[in-house]
Homo-oligomer: A and B are copies of this chain.
Amino acid sequence: MPMSATPRRRPTIKEVARVAGVSHQTVSRYLRFSGGLKESTRARVDAAIRELDYRPNLIARSMRTRRTGRLAILLPGMSSFSPDRMLAGAVATARAEGFVVEVLSVDGGPGARAERTRELADSGQVEGVLSLAPLVSDAGQEPNASAPVVVSADLDDDMRGIGGLADGSVVADLVEGLAGAGHRRFLHVSGSLGFASARERKQTYLTTVERLGLESYGVVDGDWSAESGREAVRSLPEDGGVTAVIAANDVVAAGVVRGALERGWSVPGDLSVTGWDNHPVGAYLSPALTTVDVDRERLGADAMRRLVAAVRGTVPEVSDAPLNRIIWRESTGPGPERA
């Protein structure tokens, strides 16, 4: 029970000024941009700050400048989708740009999130909001001069982002790769269609199958869960001829594999399966999962960069390094035409 001795107040700018023998305004100048100070005074202020272990009261500063230097990140409350890597990337970027990040997870659907976002955006508490989960698009933006809102490119409806394009092209590569291996009849198990990335992948799957003159047994609209993958395989007819499944992510793919094994089908002997995300365990499953490695950290960082740019009224730097990369592993093999 260390009853801390002196409840000493933190030193203020004025005390620093007194110690340094200058005016408080000079200290303030020193703090903001140490230009325009004579070297001698600069040194005196510096010494005083050091001596008193002074650190500026950022709240008082915020109050005066009316800038909070804070951004909010919205997390989906409870879903199987947990954006941990993205979060880390986004947080790191924000910090690097000099912002403090406040994270809050909101339970409930896109509606609840949109509501909360709106509330946040014009609360004056934060300068911008980044949502890592889909919102219901509230058509017209706020009438209030509210803070900018960015929905992660991975999930966003406006497909300008790199995320969108890259996403699509990789599904196409996946299908082409399998077709090249002799597969003709496909199944896609999608993620929750509330996610733009899920819609995008589904769409690209359909058009690619069409474009290459292949057949799609269909698309099962899932929810990113393993169970949805298992169910999808269960619903397949015994001799439907499907030999390849494009699953929305690795978790779904694991479910697909399980479902196949339960029916006595071998993977990849009878059925090839692809996942998405390069989940840490994917390589250690049997069979090891073919997947798409996604730089989620960078995805989060990019989204945050977009937000920061919006806040500052500048144009975001677009990164062009490839974001996705297919990793072929054991869960995919030659199709019937090569067998």
List A residues at the B interface (Cβ < 8 Å): 2, 4, 6-8, 10, 55, 57-60, 62-63, 68, 70, 73, 75, 77-78, 80, 82-85, 87-88, 91-92, 95, 100-105, 107, 123-125, 141, 145, 225-227, 229-230, 250-251, 254-255, 257-258, 261, 279-281, 283-286, 288, 297
Contact = CB atoms under 8 A, between A and B. Distances in A.
Contact of A59 (B68, B73, B102): B68
Q: Which of A59, A78, A80, A104 gathers most chain B CB within 10 Å?
A: A59
23 contacts: A4-B145, A6-B145, A57-B63, A59-B125, A60-B63, A73-B103, A75-B87, A77-B88, A80-B280, A82-B85, A84-B87, A87-B103, A87-B105, A91-B105, A100-B102, A100-B104, A226-B284, A251-B281, A254-B285, A255-B284, A257-B284, A257-B286, A258-B286
A252 to B, nearest CB: 9
A124 B61 CA distance: 13
A281 B280 contact: no
A261 B286 contact: yes
Contact of A55 (B4, B87, B124, B280): B124
Nearest to A226: B284
A230 B284 contact: yes
B284 A258 contact: yes
A10 B124 contact: yes
Contacts of A124: 10, 55, 57-59
Contact of A102 (B62, B102, B227): B102
A141 B261 CA distance: 56
A145 B7 contact: yes
A326 to B, nearest CB: 20
Q: Which of A104, A123, A283 gathers most chain B CB within 10 Å?
A: A104
B105 A102 contact: no
Contacts of A280: 80, 225-226, 251
A95 B229 CA distance: 35
A58 B125 contact: yes
A300 to B, nearest CB: 11
Given A75-B88, A251-B281, A284-B257, A104 B105 contact: no
A230 B280 CA distance: 13
A109 to B, nearest CB: 16
Q: What 8 A-B pairs have minimum CB-CB distances, sorted nearest first? A: A82-B84, A103-B103, A258-B284, A226-B284, A4-B145, A254-B281, A84-B84, A254-B284
Given A124-B57, A255-B284, A283-B226, A103 B101 contact: yes
B101 A101 contact: no
A280 B59 CA distance: 42
A91 B82 CA distance: 14
Contacts of A284: 226-227, 229-230, 251, 254-255, 257-258
Contact of A95 (B55, B57, B104, B125): B104
Contacts of A63: 57, 59-60, 63
